[in-house]
Amino acid sequence: MTDQPSAPRRGHRMLAAAAGLGVLGLPLAAPAPSPSPSASPLPAPPTGPDRGTVLYQQSCASCHGQRGEGTQRGPSLADVGPASVDFQLSTGRMPLSKEGKPNVHQDAVFSESDIRALVQHVASFPPGGGPPIPVVGGGSTPSGRELYLTYCSACHSAAGVGATLNNGRIAPSLFEATPTQIGEAVRVGPGLMPAFPPDVLSDEEVDDVAAYVGVLQDDRGELDRGGWPLGRLGPFTEGVVAWVFGLTIVLLLARRLGSRAR
Amino acid sequence: MSGTGPMSGQTGAVRRIRFAFAVTVLGAVGFAVSYGLGGNTQLLGLSLAVAFAGLAYGLAVWGRRLLPTGGFVEQKPELAASPQQRDLLAAATDGPESPLQRRGLVGMLLLGVGAIGVALLFPLRSLLSFRKPDPVTMLRHTAWEAGVRMVTPEGEPVRLTDIQAGTIQIVVPEGHTRDGDAPAFVVRLNPALLDRRPAAGDLGGVVAYSLLCTHAGCPVGLYEQTTGRMLCPCHQSAFDLYRDADPIAGPAARPLPGLPIDVDEAGFLRARGPFTAPPGAGFWSRP
Amino acid sequence: MITRRIYRALDARLGTTSIGRTALAKVFPDHWTFMFGEIALYAFMALLLTGTYLTLFFEPSTSETVYDGAYQPLDGSKVSSAFASTVALSFDVRAGLLIRQAHHWAALLFVAAIVVHMLRVFFTGAFRRPRELNWVVGVTMLALALLNGFTGYSMPDDLLSGTGLRIIYSTVLSIPVVGSWIATLAFGGEFPTPETTPRLYISHVLIVPGIFLALISVHLLMIIRQKHSQFPGPGRREHNVVGSRLWPAYAVRSVSLLTGVFAVVFALGGLVQINPVWIYGPFHPAKATSPAQPDWYVAWGDGALRLFPPIEFHVFGHLVPAPFLPAVGVGTVTFLLLYAWPWLERWRTGDKASHQILQRPRESPGRVAVGAYALTFFAVLLVTAADDIIARLTRIPVTGLLRTLQILVLVLPFVVAAVAFFTARALRAGTATSLGELTREDLHAGLSGRSIDRRPDDEPEERIRLWRNPDDTWRWRWYGPGEELSSNEAFLDRQEALDAAKTAFPGVRVEQDEPPEGVVLPPPQHKPGPATKAAAALVWVAMAVLGRRADRRTPSRSEASE
């Protein structure tokens, strides 16, 4: 995911937004999730053990402090855990391109190996702890569907498109999330999202949820079997289509029928 | 119009109509074939739409090019009858032999019919089973009472230790997982930040509230763990859990009712009593 | 000919010929806006056909069952029969999804067509006497269409529709005094109950469609009895209808429209996904999905619920909950105003006359203003119902957006109404036929309310010719400036034809070819007084002279009878 910028998707989005119909954008299938290469145990970064330290000093220390103790500009990283660091970096939420800019899912700045090096470096800060990077995969979709509707759909929508929260913040769509990122988000609770520790959602249940999100991402085009999904935004967009395409075409026909041929 | 002469422009129109109806046949065949091949929704819809569109186009050309349009007038006589005719009708309905002349009997008849009508309204009461309590009692009462164990919607009991900071657990009363008025949620707040003490009390920052929005009863499922706010997906009301679930945005006017909680020897969460107020949308007899 | 023999048998038993002749010759005005109601009718036919198919597979029950089918994430799950059978219709019944989606799209189109039809009737004053009753029937059908749309949306027992049902339940609950009784009686207890789905079902497939069919019949019968209204134009009078006949021109065009509606319904049904309940999942009272919207035609109610400030108050110690004023209040006031509008307008203008000629919207600027107000008001409500989606896509905070919309709903309708009012007055004052042709003078006249003097139209030169066909039937034709109109049917005797012509064009002189021996003028209907007799004599002489002169001028026309 991280090394696939998925340009056609963004192009499509811009096109749709330009047409003022961004709501109708197709949720294109996310590229097939790779089998979580960032899962532990972490192999050593290819460019030497100091790679993580160097990258941290370059990109993170100015806000999070030399040893992750945090500054006025950024929170402490001392006990966030590898899952949180990997989630923030692999979804491109960190590093912030500009301070104050909302951190949203975008292309990762670092390569996979760099992320691994950074995760390892941050994990070395005392006192450490925090959720490890989960190994996610191979869940059951029926169980995942039920869990998703209990724990996730209120914010991320039953269709996975996300929803609006307070103050312009949103629960993001899940169409680009990899299983590992889903597992990390469930355990960490990034941003406004609640965290779900293993007492609430077991590892198997997280696997199931990730499997069902895979269904929602609709890689094989089987979920939206009804046709153009209208961004899966529900009755509002359906109403727009009913007026703009449906009734308008019929009215044009009536207009034609009601006029004499010349 | 071009079709004034019998031949002018008509051959072209006829050719177009014939073509359109041929498209209809193709569409119908396509529909049957797609059905036979497994019934792909898009192919079925497209072929059927093409078939109908062929008819629509062909008939439109036929109607506009080959048939006379306009140029006719139909008279529209006055509908009202002459006073004389109306008098005749009145005489026929209300004449000397008319049953309507016996005003007393007619009055009794209307009374009788009305009585039947009113009597027949009574069975409508059966729409609400007599085995159920009256509406107001139902609306005020939920399955939560002292000692009822809290379980997840899937039926798993919930421990106090499951409720860690930053997480949320939706709970229902054990044995009443599908009750519409009972869903609640449990979260752990930072006790030091509470602006207002929860009316239903807390267990070291762990609080429980009704999940149902006090505006229109939707489940307020969106939890912002860093701000301690619950949002309603239906009409965007927001409730501040640090102020005892007071509404702070949107159309909801009342706070979420709290649920007093307790923990038993096994560590499971139980209710210590009913909600502090009837949950969900308001009603006339709400205390 | 076998068809002729069958028809003869039918006619011998039922006497269908004269009705048939009149029906085929019925004249429809040639204006495309007269087809809006037909679009609704054909969408309704699509609904009946697809809906009947759906009933063969849908199980209206919330009893628990195990879904066993092609949708893998639900396979083996315990869900309600209603939900399982809807998913089965979408995944396991071949062509089921097409029919299901076509049904839903047809419903959206149906209500849209009703609304557009109602707007045409409203803005042209077609609801005025003698059509007030049909307006009332039409408003009732709109209400029933909304109701049936909502029950259909609610039946599959999915998470989205369950949420909608919960909101309606809460709205009914908010009615003072009787709300809790009505809500629990209708739902069979406190929401959700197992009784709900079967009740929605019988109402959706039998009760409401049955009433609807009856009302459609009444609606159409009234149109047939009263005949169509029409826009002003050459030859258009209060006592005639000008246009095309049912057979063949209008029938062919109508069937074209019917098939066009079906084409759109099935194209949308096959190509655009609607209400994917398998994604929303089964209803559970503790679960939620976001964004949550109803179908567009009830979304104004949802928008009002979102827009209304958090106000609840007590009356005699009893609570009036927040949903009452926006949802129950706005809906009730809207429909009461719709029902009362013909009488409200009559009371305001004092116009009690019967009208067969429609107005152009500009002729009644006040009505245009009211309509523009209502349209804008409901448009803002519809947009508000999607405020979370708009906030999601634009990243504008939803509270700020809501505040903006709260101001807009109060201000914008007045602004639009005022603009519409003055535009209509400017159009009425001048000679512009469209907005682009408005002159500065027109606009000024529109603002000041002063009318620009226009020369009254000259009395048109017009006459009617009556003739006998070779098959001894009679027809007539009206000649006016730039327009000729033929009688819509052939008459069996001369008197009938003459009566029809005199009804359609009272006071227009009638010429005739080949006057039959001895009879030239119709006998007077009432015993004529001396003055009438004198006038009749004059007319008689004039017509005889003119008729003969016309004979000499143009060789007698023979027109083939139909």
Question: What pLDDT score does A126 carry?
Answer: 77
Chain B partners within 8 Å of A254 (Cβ): none
Cβ-based neighbours of C425, under 8 Å, separated by 6 or more: C362, C365, C445, C446, C447, C449
A197 and B56 within 8 Å at the Cβ level: the answer is: no
Mean pLDDT score of chain A, rounded to an integer?
79
Dihedral over Cα of A87, A91, A92, A93: its sign? negative
Whether B26 and B158 map to the same domain: the answer is no
A155 and B227 within 8 Å at the Cβ level: the answer is: no
Count Cβ atoms within 10 A of the Cβ of residue A237 and give its class: 0-12 exposed, 13-18 middle, 19 or more buried.
Answer: buried
Nearest-CA distance from B242 to chain C in Å?
20
Q: What is the ipTM of this complex?
A: 0.93
Single out the residue of C327, C295, C294, C342 nearest to residue C138, CA to CA: C342
Chain C partners within 8 Å of B52 (Cβ): 259-260, 262-263, 266
Domain end residue (candidates: B127, B158, B179): B127
Question: What pLDDT score does C547 carry?
Answer: 59
Q: What is the pTM of this model?
A: 0.89
Percent of chain A residues topping a pLDDT of 90: 36
Whether B196 and B142 map to the same domain: the answer is yes
Question: What pLDDT score does C166 carry?
Answer: 94
> pLDDT-derived band of residue C559, with 50, 70 and 90 as boundaries?
very low
Nearest-CA distance from A143 to chain C in Å?
8
Q: With contact defined as beta carbons under 8 Å apart, do A42 and A117 qualify?
A: no
Q: Which residue has the higher pLDDT, B20 or A31?
A: B20
Chain C partners within 8 Å of B67 (Cβ): 248-249, 252
> pLDDT-derived band of residue A164, with 50, 70 and 90 as boundaries?
confident
Q: Is the pLDDT of residue A32 over 80?
A: no
Task: List pLDDT tens digits, range A230-245.
Answer: 989 999 999 999 999 9
Q: Do domains A53-123 and A141-232 have the same CATH topology?
A: yes
Q: With contact defined as beta carbons under 8 Å apart, do A34 and A178 qualify?
A: yes
Chain C partners within 8 Å of A171 (Cβ): 290
Q: With contact defined as beta carbons under 8 Å apart, do C284 and B179 qualify?
A: no
Domain end residue (candidates: B127, B159, B192): B127
Give the residue numbers spanning the domain of B85. Answer: 2-127
Q: With contact defined as beta carbons under 8 Å apart, do C508 and B95 qualify?
A: no
| Antiparallel, parallel or unpaired: β B184-188 and B206-210 | antiparallel
| Antiparallel, parallel or unpaired: β C78-80 and B269-271 | unpaired
Give the CATH number of domain A53-123: 1.10.760.10
Whether B215 and B158 map to the same domain: the answer is yes
Burial C263-289 (b: 16+ CB within 10 A, else e): bbbbbbbbbbbbbbbbbbbbbbbbbbb
Domain positions in chain C are 1-359, 463-512
A239 and C396 within 8 Å at the Cβ level: the answer is: no
Q: Is the pLDDT of residue C329 over 50?
A: yes
Whether B121 and B162 map to the same domain: the answer is no
> pLDDT-derived band of residue C448, with 50, 70 and 90 as boundaries?
confident
Mutate to test the interface with A, among B151, B164, B240 (most CBs of A within 10 A): B164
Chain C partners within 8 Å of A243 (Cβ): 112, 296
Whether B25 and B163 map to the same domain: the answer is no
Question: What pLDDT score does B244 carry?
Answer: 94
Q: Is the pLDDT of residue A31 over 50?
A: no
Q: Is the pLDDT of residue C536 over 80?
A: no
Q: Is the pLDDT of residue C337 over 80?
A: yes
The neighbour count for residue C27, using CB atoms within 10 Å, is 28
Query: What's the average model confidence in pLDDT over C387-416?
Result: 92
Is the residue at B132 inside a domain?
Answer: no
C39 and A141 within 8 Å at the Cβ level: the answer is: no
Q: Which residue has the higher pLDDT, A6 or C387?
A: C387
Question: What pLDDT score does C230 carry?
Answer: 94
Cβ-based neighbours of A88, under 8 Å, separated by 6 or more: A94, A103, A190
Which residue among B1, B224, B226 places its CB closest to the CB of A261? B1
- Which partners does chain B have (≥3 C-beta pairs < 8 Å)? A, C
Number of domains in chain B: 2
Residue bearing tokens 């006017």:
B253
Residue in C with minimal Cα distance to B237 = C306
Question: What pLDDT score does A94 carry?
Answer: 83
Question: What pLDDT score does C531 carry?
Answer: 65
Residue in A with minimal Cα distance to C280 = A158
Task: List pLDDT tens digits, range B177-227.
Answer: 889 999 999 999 999 999 999 999 899 899 999 999 999 999 998 899 889
A255 and C113 within 8 Å at the Cβ level: the answer is: no
Please provide the DSSP assignment of A127-167 as one string.
Answer: S--SPPPP------HHHHHHHHHHHTHHHH-TTS--EE-GG
Single out the residue of B129, B163, B185 nearest to residue B268, CA to CA: B163
> pLDDT-derived band of residue C545, with 50, 70 and 90 as boundaries?
low
Least reliable range by pLDDT among A110-124, B242-256, C80-94, C314-328: A110-124
- Which partners does chain A have (≥3 C-beta pairs < 8 Å)? B, C
> pLDDT-derived band of residue C452, with 50, 70 and 90 as boundaries?
low
Dihedral over Cα of B87, B92, B96, B102: its sign? negative
Q: Is the pLDDT of residue A8 over 70?
A: no
Question: What pLDDT score does C555 carry?
Answer: 45
Single out the residue of A132, B87, A23, A99 nearest to residue C291, CA to CA: A23
Tokens found for residue C332: 């009730």
Query: What's the average model confidence in pLDDT over C429-442?
Result: 79
Question: What pLDDT score does C454 carry?
Answer: 57
| C-alpha to C-alpha distance for B1 and C30, rounded to whole angstroms | 14
C253 and A257 within 8 Å at the Cβ level: the answer is: yes
Q: With contact defined as beta carbons under 8 Å apart, do C112 and A243 qualify?
A: yes
Task: List pLDDT tens digits, range C118-150.
Answer: 999 999 999 999 999 999 999 999 999 999 999
Superfamily of A141-232 according to CATH:
Cytochrome c-like domain (1.10.760.10)
Question: What pLDDT score does C299 carry?
Answer: 95
Torsion, Cα C86 C90 C96 C101, to 10 degrees, reads 90
Domain positions in chain A are 53-123, 141-232
Single out the residue of C97, C160, C1, B23 nearest to residue A223, CA to CA: C97
Count Cβ atoms within 10 A of the Cβ of residue C37 and give its class: 0-12 exposed, 13-18 middle, 19 or more buried.
Answer: buried
Amino acid C491 reads: F
B60 and A200 within 8 Å at the Cβ level: the answer is: no
Residue in A with minimal Cα distance to C91 = A225
Which residue among A191, A192, A199 places its CB closest to the CB of B161? A199
The dihedrals phi and psi of C221, each to the nearest 5 degrees, come to -60, -40
Query: What's the average model confidence in pLDDT over C232-244?
Result: 91
Does A225 reach chain B within 8 Å, measured CB to CB? yes
Which CATH number do you get for residue B224? 2.102.10.10
Q: What is the DSSP letter of C434?
A: S
Please provide the DSSP assignment of B147-183 as one string.
Answer: TPBEE-TTS-B-BGGG--TT-EEEEEETT-TT-SS--
Q: Which CATH architecture has domain C1-359?
A: Up-down Bundle (1.20)
Q: Is the pLDDT of residue A37 over 70?
A: no
Q: Is the pLDDT of residue B135 over 90?
A: yes
Q: Is the pLDDT of residue C406 over 90?
A: yes
Mean pLDDT score of chain C, rounded to an integer?
89
Amino acid A243 reads: W
Domain end residue (candidates: B98, B127, B156): B127
Nearest-CA distance from A192 to chain B in Å?
5
Amino acid A134 reads: P
What distance, in Å, lies between the first and last C-alpha atoms of chain C? 20
Mean pLDDT score of chain B, rounded to an integer?
92
Q: Is the pLDDT of residue C86 over 60?
A: yes
